Amino acid sequence: MSKFFTMTFARVYPLYVAKVERKGRTVEELDEVIRWLTGFDEPTLRRHVDDGTTFPDFFAGASLNPNASMITGVVCGMRVETIEDPLEQKIRYLDKLVDELAKGKSMEKILRS
């Protein structure tokens, strides 16, 4: 079992924020990317951060974007499109989107528009 399965979203969210802000992106852009992937609205996203929701519970309540399968590439040495465990794949999708945001990709490309 991956350590991310027991980790809370609230613990990782500030790390995502720091990563994108270091690269000149905003929290608003990060939240937009997370909302795109999960289908959460802003209050729901804030509640998950405030409540310390675990990743399994975070993604259990999500309605994954139909275009999420278009997220491809390598994150943490793993090809996201070939990860077999559904929860781990969703976590890595999120990681990949955050990486793309931090690398300066346009929001249009990140959101697979």
Tally of domains within the chain = 1
91 within a domain of the structure (yes/no): yes
Domain span at residue 86?
A: 3-106
9 within a domain of the structure (yes/no): yes
> Rounded CA gap, 69 and 15, in Å?
24
HSE-up (13 A, CA, CB side) for residue 113:
9
Q: Please give the structure tokens belonging to residue 11.
A: 């613990």
> Rounded CA gap, 107 and 113, in Å?
9
pLDDT at 73: 95
111 within a domain of the structure (yes/no): no
59 within a domain of the structure (yes/no): yes
Note the Cα 106 to chain centre separation in Å: 16
pLDDT at 2: 64
CATH label of the domain that carries residue 101: 1.10.8.290
Residues of the chain with pLDDT under 70: 1-2, 4
Q: What would you measure as the largest C-alpha separation in the chain, in angstroms?
A: 34
73 within a domain of the structure (yes/no): yes
113 within a domain of the structure (yes/no): no
pLDDT at 5: 76
Angle (deg, nearest 10), helices 9-22 and 27-38 = 130
70 within a domain of the structure (yes/no): yes
38 within a domain of the structure (yes/no): yes
pLDDT at 113: 84
